[in-house]
Structure 1
Amino acid sequence: MPLRTLQYRIKQLVMQQCLVKQGSRRWTTYHLPVERETNTVSQPDEPIAFSNESTAIRAYVRQSPAAREPVGYHHSFLDAYQPGINFYLSLRERTYLAKIGKPPMADQPAGTYAKQILHRLLIDLSWNSSRLEGNTYSLLDTKRLIQFGNAVEGRDPVEAQMILNHKDAIEFLVGQANDIGFNRFTILNLHAMLANNLLANSRAQGQLRYIPVGIERSTFYPLEVPQLIAEYFEQILMKTAAINDPFEQALFFMVQLPYLQPFDDVNRRVSRMGANIPLIKHNLVPLSFTDVPRDIYTEAVLGVYEMNRIDLLKDLFIWAYERSVRRYTAVRQSLGAPDPFRLTYRDAIQAVVGEVVRGAMGRKEAIMHVADYASIHIEPTEQEHFREVVEDELLALHAGNFARYQIRPSEFDAWQRAWGGQLPHNHPRSQ
């Protein structure tokens, strides 16, 4: 690879503490960090508390594949679970997660909380879920890609596509919060978005698989009979939908969907996005997998595949959710109390702002368009307030916040020229 690319990647590995740098200039050397033999993995705030069962799972799956027993798909693992009778999370664990996961807000329509933090959620969840699949984009790279469409030069285009697919999937879940659920429409479309432009066979996007698949570095051999895959897929959806507790739903789906491997690829990504469905619908803090170590997540999934043991994945699920709660509690506090009017008319505001920008309207044309829109779509007593809010949004629109309206950079640039010309880089509003 080009020397500059190599230097950049090494620098990123050092920043991510995946490599340790010693010396400088021509005497610089790099080596792997020394791993400590311990039952916990140190993280910035606190370690993951592994149960004895989780420790045993890690010890088993850390052996070489040759030392582990080859296994196939066991339908009894799914069949034995009865919603409302069996639970992966204990009552104490479910009560605890419900207590920390409910933000201090009045009852609102499904998806309201996720919409409040959407700009942060898009970046966090897209980056962390992609990172768990080996994507090498940094958090800043991801932010620039999502907000400005700037892919990192020298990187595999697959990485940018993966992140943008996550963005589309998250926007789908949040935007369609009233309609999504554990049904074929939601899960098949979720797969199609996450797999977009990533599968060799484009027809496999949003389709259950008809071909055998293998799991890298695993002794697990997934089911190969298409009729049974379709039957068990429906069983997973029905059982997940029948679970009343949103956290139990999330964990059950994260366990059972990847175990079946119903799609040619992208199964784990679908399970992580799908786990957020009940959280979004119940206005709970979403699960963004912040700081989840990739190696431990892989071990947890292998424990399900090869041992039908969920203990490690459950420990990781609870720990990851605690970190998500702390993150988004801080984010929401920094945002202040939401404006009820803007919440009520969020979709209308987004629609009319998008129309103005995509139409490259100047100021006079935009004011007339907003007035016409309000006269048709907004209650008469609210029209004037609506116009003021939209006009404020247009005046506040800049290069750092237009992505939330699903506006492309080229559309924004054209609109800026029509609106009043490109602002100088050092102008206060351009900052």
Structure 2
Amino acid sequence: MALSDLMTRLDVPERTLNRWLAKLVEAGQVQATGQKRGRRYQLPQQVPTILPSSANHPLFSDFTLQCINRVRQPLITRDPCTYNTAWFDAYQPNQTFYLPAGQRQLLMQQGRQVSAELPAGTYAQRIFNRLLIDLSYNSSRLEGNTYSLPDTEKLLLEGVAADNKLDAERIMLLNHKEAIRFLVEGINRLEITTDNIRSIHYLLADGLVAPGAAGHIRSDAVRISSTTYIPMDNQERLARQMGLITAKAQAITDPFEQSFFLLVHIAYLQAFIDVNKRTSRLACNIPLVRHNLVPLSFNDIDKDDYASAVIVTYEQNDVIPLAELYVSSYLRSCKLYSATAEALGIDPLRVQYRQARRDMIRDIVQQCLHGDLLNAYIQAQVEKCVPECHREKFTSDLHTDLANLAPFSIAGMGISLRDLEAWQRGRM
């Protein structure tokens, strides 16, 4: 229903009705599509914490299938459109939400697999090889890359290229490797800025676009196949709009909403001559890696479904189809990386208190503490630095490390070999 239809049925001021609708949309109890006079409100197909689905498609709701069917019609039947600044301007961080509250809660519940108190990027670093392979493979696959998953693993981990494959496909995967490494290893300094988005694009596009184009806002016009969408032109305008996108993204507090906002708007702007969607897929992982959430590797997304969902955002400014893919793929990623973390035997508490444990080991060795002096020191420090619920585990880890101290394990602790030998002699 349109707002005007609702006004005829409800005896309330328009301002009040708008406020009610905004709250219902944020809570996921009502879905809104379109802009201005074309804006329509409807009840969701299902409770928002459950993925909508259709009998005709395992991931998409009936509403999404209708949207996608429209963008799969012949181009001549669809109206040309260009960048809609009003749609972008209408988004207000922490007031507007592309992902309903129920979905965001579900994603947080499934995506939080380690302590939020761990240093940024800890989780991604522990599953780095799996993330590297999956995200490189799936992001490249969505662009038509024909490398198989085993061949991708061989290329990225062993440097062995597959036979009978195009050089561009190999470069695309190797570029993903560099961009993902940049993302994970630099997460503590990687703010959502235009410069960092350009850096990600440079790493992804180097060798795949004309010399001098990688990382640079384009000065030429671009056209996108299979859509009537005509992106914004003019390098100065594009640079200014990219700055507005990153500034708005920085203001979003929910990591999933922030992630999805980047996925939508970096691709929509088309600020680079090519490799825009790949850049959006890497950039949308910045908030997830920073908050130690499961990264999004775009598993199990059909290439044509993804392309159609993106085109719906271009032509209809409707994010629901892409949101359904985002949520379903993310939940799939959670299951995958949960199994990976379990197989790797990740010990989050050990990682969380690593620095405190090493500081205590340094003091114990340098002060040559043993017996009662050692026990008193440990008790005092543990009570001061470690919450009661974690003390037993911390103390056990500390004693294990002390029992296994060796020259190779004191690197970076500030302990000299002479200190270690003196402390070890005192134990005899």
Q: TM-score, normalised on structure 2?
A: 0.70
User: What is the one-letter code of the residue matched to 1:100?
Assistant: Q
2:336 matched to 1:336?
Answer: no
Which one of the candidate residues 55, 60, 66 is aligned to 2:70? 60
The corresponding residue for 1:425 is none
Residue 281 of structure 2 is matched in structure 1 by 272
Is structure 2 residue 358 aligned with structure 1 residue 323? no
Structure 1 residue 105, shift from structure 2 partner: 3.5
* CA gap 1:128/1:103 in 2 versus in 1, 3 angstroms: same
Secondary structure of 1:265 counterpart: coil
- After superposition, residues 224-235 of structure 1 pair within 5 angstroms as 224-235=233-244
Partner of 1:354: none
Go from structure 1 to structure 2 and tell me whether the alpha carbon gap of 1:165 and 1:227 turns closer, same or farther (over 3 Å shift).
same
- SS at structure 2 position matched to 1:380: coil
Instruction: Give the Cα separation in 1 of the matches to 2:298 and 2:164.
Output: 27
* Structure 2 counterpart of 1:293: 302
* Structure 1 residues without counterparts, runs of 5 or longer: 1-37, 346-369, 386-431
Amino acid aligned to 2:134: D
CA shift in 2, pair 1:169/1:91, >3 Å: same
Of the candidates 114, 131, 134, which is equivalent to residue 124 of structure 1? Answer: 134
Count of aligned positions? 317
- Alpha-carbon distance in 1 for matches of 2:321, 2:419: 55
Map of 1:360-399 to 2, 5 A cutoff? 377-380=412-415
Q: Is it true that 1:169 corresponds to 2:179 in the alignment?
A: yes
Q: Give the CA deviation at 1:228.
A: 1.2
Does the CA contact (< 8 Å) of 1:374 and 1:383 recur in 2?
A: no
Relative to structure 1, is the Cα distance of residues 372 and 284 closer, same or farther in structure 2, using a 3 angstrom cutoff?
closer
SS in 2 for 1:204: coil
CA shift for structure 1 position 244: 0.2
1:413-428, aligned counterparts within 5 Å?
none
Mapped to 1, the partners of 2:415 and 2:123 lie a distance apart of 28
> Could you list the per-position Cα deviations for residues 50-96 of structure 1 after superposition, in whole angstroms to 9, with x for gaps in the alignment?
23331221110111111111111111111111101111011111111
Preserved contact between residue 64 and residue 320 of structure 2 (Cα < 8 Å): yes
Residues 230 and 262 in structure 1, CA contact (< 8 A), matched pair in contact too: yes
* CA distance 1:59–1:382, change in 2 (3 Å): farther
Letter in 2 for 1:176: G
Q: Flag structure 2 segments of 5+ consecutive residues without an equivalent.
A: 1-52, 356-405, 421-428
* Structure-2 separation of matches of 1:103 and 1:382: 38
* Equivalent residues in 2 for 1:165-244, closer than 5 Å: 165-200=175-210, 202-244=211-253
1:192 partner amino acid: Y
Contact residue 312 and residue 318 of structure 2 kept, 8 A = yes
Aligned with 1:203: secondary structure?
coil
User: Does 2:81 align with 1:74?
Assistant: no
Q: Structure 1's 40 and 292: CA in aligned 2 closer, same or farther, altered over 3 A?
A: farther
* Aligned: 1:93 with 2:106: no
Instruction: Look up the equivalent residue of 1:380 and give its one-letter code.
Output: I
Q: Residue 140 of structure 1 corresponds to which residue in structure 2?
A: 150
Q: Residue 190 of structure 1: SS of its match in structure 2?
A: helix
Superposition pairs of residues 240-251 of structure 1, within 5 angstroms: 240-251=249-260
Which of 293, 301, 306 does residue 315 from structure 2 map onto? 306
User: Distance between the aligned counterparts of 1:289 and 1:59, measured in 2?
Assistant: 22
Structure-2 change in CA distance of 1:212 and 1:344 (3 Å):
farther
Q: What percent identity do the matched residue pairs reach? A: 40
Q: Distance in 2 between matches of 1:97 and 1:243?
A: 16
2:383 is aligned to none
Change beyond 3 A, Cα 1:106–1:188: closer
Deviations 1:174-212 (A, max 9, x none): 101101121123211100000011002x21111111110
- Which letter does structure 1 place at the counterpart of 2:335? R
Pairing of 1:41-60 with structure 2 (within 5 A): 47-48=58-59, 50-60=60-70
Give the deviation of 1:341 after TM superposition. Answer: 6.6
**Which of the two has higher C-alpha Rg?**
2
RMSD: 2.4
Over residues 302-325 of structure 1, what are the superposed CA-to-partner deviations in whole Å (9 max), with x where a residue is unaligned? 001111111100111110101000
